[in-house]
Amino acid sequence: MGKLKIGRMVMGPVSTNCYFVYDDENKKALIFDVPCDGFGIYNNLSAHGINISGILLTHGHFDHIMGANELRKAASVKIYAYEEELEVCEDSHNNCTDQIGREYIVKCNKYLKDNEEIDIDGIKCRLIATPGHTKGSCCYYFEDEKMLISGDTLFCGSVGRSDLPTGREATLIRSVRERLMILPDDVKVYPGHGDETTIGYERKYNPFI
């Protein structure tokens, strides 16, 4: 397997980060969150010779899923999420699409367990359950590459909101402290919005931790 690289597309009305982690040798990629325009994402990556192998969701809010069904269809791949997120992905109230007047649900092909090791076309990562932003929010950790896709759990200098359906502030803070702050300082964090950071920086400067 070649070296894994990460790319980012900032998309949608609230500038959501859509990440693609890809093998530089065989050009296989995993997509993390699909804010919108699934067909556009497929065409863009295909034009650069990158083939999509799977879609992984950090959580089910509207700004992270509304292109997922289209991308699944275009790429003929499966959608994965943490098992506790089913009632968010598959409910237009819980995923807040009813609030924006465009009800939308995603029925994932497979719901994963906490700490489950994921291997799709040789691209490996581990699901870390980090509930609080939603009931089934999670992060994806690439241990060898020291990369963490953190969704809306951890941001640079902040944490996710917890006032939307199934969210809970105390649970969110505990998730960050107990599940993420145990990672090495030099792990790069790629959040659902805004710029990247590191675990070490957040441990030292994040006021919520």
Is 104:38 a contact under the CB 8 Å cutoff? no
What pLDDT sits at residue 11? 97
Q: Is 171 left (phi over 0), alpha (psi -120 to 50) or beta?
A: alpha
**185 pLDDT more than 90:** yes
Is it the case that residue 1 has pLDDT exceeding 80? no
Chain mean pLDDT for the chain: 97
**Span 173-199, mean pLDDT?**
98
Percentage of residues in the chain having pLDDT higher than 70: 99
What would you report as the CA-atom Rg of the chain, rounded to the nearest whole angstrom? Answer: 16
Q: Is 190 helix (H, G, I), strand (E, B) or coil?
A: strand
* 169 — pLDDT class (breaks 50, 70, 90): very high
Neighbours of 64 (CB within 10 A): 30
The 8-class DSSP code of residue 100 comes to: G
Span 36-48, average pLDDT = 97
Average pLDDT over residues 161-175: 98
pTM of the model: 0.97
Q: What is the pLDDT of residues 58-89, one digit of tens each?
A: 999 999 999 999 999 999 999 999 999 999 99
Query: Model confidence over 108-159: pLDDT tens digits?
Result: 999 999 999 999 999 999 999 999 999 999 999 999 999 999 999 999 999 9
CATH of 4-205, one of 3.40.50.80, 3.60.15.10, 3.30.420.480, 3.90.1640.30: 3.60.15.10
Q: pLDDT grade, residue 25 (50/70/90)? A: very high
- With a pLDDT cut of 90, the percent of the chain lying above it is 98
Average pLDDT over residues 150-175: 98
- Written as six digits, the tokens of 94 are 């819980």
CA distance 127 to 113: 7
